[in-house]
Structure 1
Amino acid sequence: MSDLAVFAGPAGDAGALRPGRSGLAPCVWEAAVLAHERDAFSRHVLDADGLLAERLAAWRDDTLEGEV
C-alpha cells in the first residue's frame, strides 16, 4: 500500500510545484504516467539483476518521452 501525493504548479518549473488539495486525484491521462512508472519500477528494480545503483539508474532513465 502506498500514499499518492499529487502536486500542482506551472509546467516546466519543478521548483514551483506545491502539494495539491486534499482529495485531489490524477486524471485519466495522468494514470498512464503512473502505470508506466509502476511497470518501469517492477522491470528495472524488482525483476532485474545487478547492483541496486545500476537498477535504480535504469529506472530513473526509463521515461515516456516520445511515447505519449
Structure 2
Amino acid sequence: MSDLAVFTGPAGDAARLRPGRSGLAPRVWEAAVLAHERDAFARHVLDGQGVLDERLVAWRDDALEGEVR
C-alpha cells in the first residue's frame, strides 16, 4: 500500500506545485496518468536489469505523451 499525494498548480511549472487539500483525489480521466506511472515504475525499476540509479533515471524520464491541459 502507498499513499497517494495530489499536487495542484499551473501546468508546466513544477516549481509552483503545492500539496492539494486533504481528501483531494484524482479525477477519473487522470487514471491514465496513474496507470502510466505504475507501468513505468514496473518497467524501469522493478525489472531488475542494470544499475538502480540508471533505472531510476529511466523511470523519471518516462513521460506520458500528450497534451497538457
SS in 2 for 1:26: coil
Query: 1:57: how far off?
Result: 1.4
Whole-Å separation in 2 of the counterparts to 1:67 and 1:6: 19
Q: Which structure would you say has the larger RCO, counting Cα contacts within 8 Å and 6 or more residues apart? A: 2
SS, match of residue 30 in structure 1:
helix
Q: What corresponds to 1:28 in structure 2?
A: 28
Q: Give how far 1:31 is off.
A: 1.2
Q: TM-score scaled by structure 2?
A: 0.84
Q: How many residues are paired up?
A: 68
CA distance in 1, matches of 2:64, 2:49: 23
Letter in 2 for 1:60: R
User: Between the two proteins, what is the percent identity of the paired residues?
Assistant: 84
Gaps of 5+ in 2: none
The runs of at least 4 aligned residues of structure 1 exceeding 3 Å deviation read: none
Let me know the Cα RMSD of the aligned residues.
1.9
Q: CA offsets per residue over residues 9-54 of structure 1, 9 Å max, x none?
A: 1222222211111111000111110110011000111014111111
Quick one: distance in 2 between partners of 1:2 and 1:15? Answer: 24
TM-score by length of 1: 0.85
